[in-house]
Structure 1
Amino acid sequence: MKVAVVMGGASPEHHVSLASGKGIADAVASLGHTAVPLVIDQQGDWANGLHEAIDLLRAVDVVLIGLHGEYGEDGRLQGFLDQLKVPYVGSGVTASAVGLDKHLTKAVLRAHGIPVTPGVRLFGAETSDTEAAVQKLKEADVEFPVFVKPANGGSSFGVGRATDLASLADAVAAAAELDPQVLVEKEMVGREIDLAVLQFPDGRVEVGPPLEIHSDPAQPFFNATAKYDASSATEFVVPAPLTPELAELLNRTALEVFEVLGCKGLARVDFFVPADGKPVVNEINTLPGFTPASQFPRMWAAAGYTYADVVDVLIKTAVAQP
């Protein structure tokens, strides 16, 4: 098949996406397909030009999306591909748009009885009024320390930790530079567990072995440096040591999140497991990092799937979708 691999994009995750795209394109070629790399630059323009990109996309059998964050993971590209009537890997417009918006994701999950990280959304004038933000946190019974993050985005860009009014104001201002909606959430002390969800061509959906994050102790939390710096001491333990009961609960919840949001193809669901052993959903990534060293392929490697095996499943599932 001819397989387009779209990478880059205008989000802060541009360079992460390029690494994901290269890994995907190499795997596509190793499977015997023809990879057609298509790059979107940091201004959001197609490097080949829009009209040539449309011609190339219409000529392929399927599109693998290696984009992360806004303009790629938020449903905009998915809608564009729907208009071109080209099959693509991953969730459609609605699930992609909801999945990238952390506030909306948690509102939907909360409405379905799925526990999520407690917090509030700040918007508009609230992002510059620290006293109003603190009052909103009090009403939600959320106390310091808190984590502050852009509502739409990933890779921990714009994420900060606040322990008082001054650090809260600084963290909110930094997050607001990337997104007008800012989330302020309770710091969850406990284990960070990720689960990889994969849909197969026959329609079944499975969860890979759990991964536990032991972040670089030199970093304040699992930030972008801890994730991507080559010298980072961050460790990923997979499979994570879990009791059978906790493992079953996490698997069931990950599948429920995938179904409730209407996801397709793949997703990574991230959990916090506090000391009481009751997990809460932190977020979902409908297009998770996909470099050979990323969490998603690591988890499936522990289940016996090579990187190319996972790409093969994604391609076949996308083509098999009605």
Structure 2
Amino acid sequence: MTSTTPSEPRKPRVAVVFGGRSSEHSVSCATAAGVLSAIDRERYDVVPIGVAQDGSWVLAADDPAPLRLTPGHTPQVVHEGTEVALSTSVGDRTLAVHEPGEPPRAFGEVDVVFPLLHGPYGEDGTLQGMLELADVRYVGSGVLASAAGMDKHYMKVVFAGAGLPVGPYTVITDRQWRRDKAAAMDAVAALTYPVFVKPCRAGSSMGVSKVDAPEQLEAAIEAAREHDLKVIVESGILGREIECAVLEGHGLDSPRTSLPGEIVVEAGHGHAFYDFEAKYLDESAVSLSCPADLPDDVAAEVQRLAAEAFEALGCEGLARVDCFVTEDGEVLINEINTMPGFTPHSMYPRMWEASGLSYPELIDELVQLALERPVGLR
């Protein structure tokens, strides 16, 4: 009688999906570069999948170097003919490869997707809905929380409905703008200048303008509309910008919060606020500190409101909550980001690093949370 040695269990296969159709394509690539460099290859089988700007899904090279965003290099996913697709049959998590002129071939099962897309067509619930249909577990929030978290208007409606403090704002829809520009701009008069004009459903500070006077408003709205036809205008809040990272609890545990962090835009670099260049291309323009220098009670309030915002929106996995702390110590929630920047230098992982959770450990934690959580209603 011959004995057989049982084969080693298969490592969970993680599909790292990045790129996408939004204006944040290159930022998503940079995020993927960080994750691909740090994910534990001894524990996970990693499959990089790039989403080209035409929406095609392609097998990408497992090399983070070309994906890094630098002043001289804007990374992008290139569609070179070979595409991949997930099955939409329940219970079939097979990844299929499609090459021109060849029948589809199975590439193996995917256990969890790490969706590193930022902006519309990825962070806004669209990709999450597709993964739900494909019956594949994924890192991060579900359809509703992703969609509401992407839309700064409905995000604030949810927060206000839950009794959380938000600053004054107004929304200008495409219909309002096309019907009567003057009336749409008159609604801004109730706000305090300077105001910040933003696309409702974009990130990475793209299309965002600081407006110091009414005569600058129309041009700022038109600039925001290049990214989203729905625009939000927010009162400038006199105070400090404080951020807090939130991580889902295990089982019935409450969300966990990091030490709060602070971003300060340094004078003399030509940045009126924390814009795209300051975030990704000019590291000398900002100083990032964690823990932020706050009184203990204010820091605790930031953490409390961050956790409550996470739960009010029904978030899962991770989120970064951005707050204002006014001069008298009041804390206001500015926004939540359900898939925050995730390079090793981004605020979300840096706040967790300062709180005792390293970047590779954070990636592992998020994958494990996704593996624990089923798809479908929960």
TM bucket, shorter chain: over 0.9
Query: Which piece of structure 1 moves more, 25-34 or 212-221?
Result: 25-34
CA contact (8 A) 1:216 1:222 kept: no
For residue 172 of structure 1, the aligned residue among 221, 224, 242 is 221
Q: Deviations over 1:269-319 (max 9, x none)?
A: 000111121111111000000001111100010012111000010011111
**What letter is aligned with 2:315?**
C
Alignment TM-score, normalising by the size of structure 2: 0.81
Report deviation, 1:56.
2.1
Report deviation, 1:42.
1.7
Aligned residues: 320
CA contact (8 A) 1:3 1:28 kept: no
Tell me which stretches of 4 or more aligned residues in structure 1 moved more than 6 Å: none
CA contact (8 A) 1:149 1:159 kept: yes
Alignment TM-score, normalising by the size of structure 1: 0.94
CA contact (8 A) 1:29 1:35 kept: no
Greater gyration radius = 2
Give the alignment's Cα RMSD to 1 decimal. Answer: 1.7
2:299 aligns with 247
Report deviation, 1:21.
1.1
Q: Considering Cα pairs closer than 8 Å and 6+ residues apart, tell me whether 1 or 2 has the greater RCO.
A: 1
Report deviation, 1:137.
2.2
For residues 59 and 178 of structure 1, what CA distance do their matches in structure 2 show? 36
For residue 118 of structure 1, the aligned residue among 141, 149, 168 is 168
2:13 aligns with 2
Report deviation, 1:158.
0.1
CA contact (8 A) 1:38 1:53 kept: no
Report deviation, 1:51.
6.5
1:70 aligns with 120
Report deviation, 1:231.
4.6
2:129 aligns with 79
For residue 134 of structure 1, the aligned residue among 174, 185, 192 is 185
2:8 aligns with none
CA contact (8 A) 2:324 2:332 kept: yes
2:46 aligns with 35
**What letter is aligned with 2:95?**
L
Identity of aligned residues (%): 44
Summarize the alignment of residues 123-272 of structure 1 with structure 2, pairs less than 5 Å apart: 123-127=173-177, 129-138=180-189, 141-204=190-253, 205-217=255-267, 218=269, 219-272=271-324
Report deviation, 1:30.
4.1
Q: Deviations over 1:34-69 (max 9, x none)?
A: 110000012222134797231428711111111111
1:289 aligns with 341
**Partner SS state of residue 156, structure 1:** coil
Q: Deviations over 1:12-37 (max 9, x none)?
A: 11111011112112222445311100
Report deviation, 1:260.
0.7
Report deviation, 1:248.
1.5
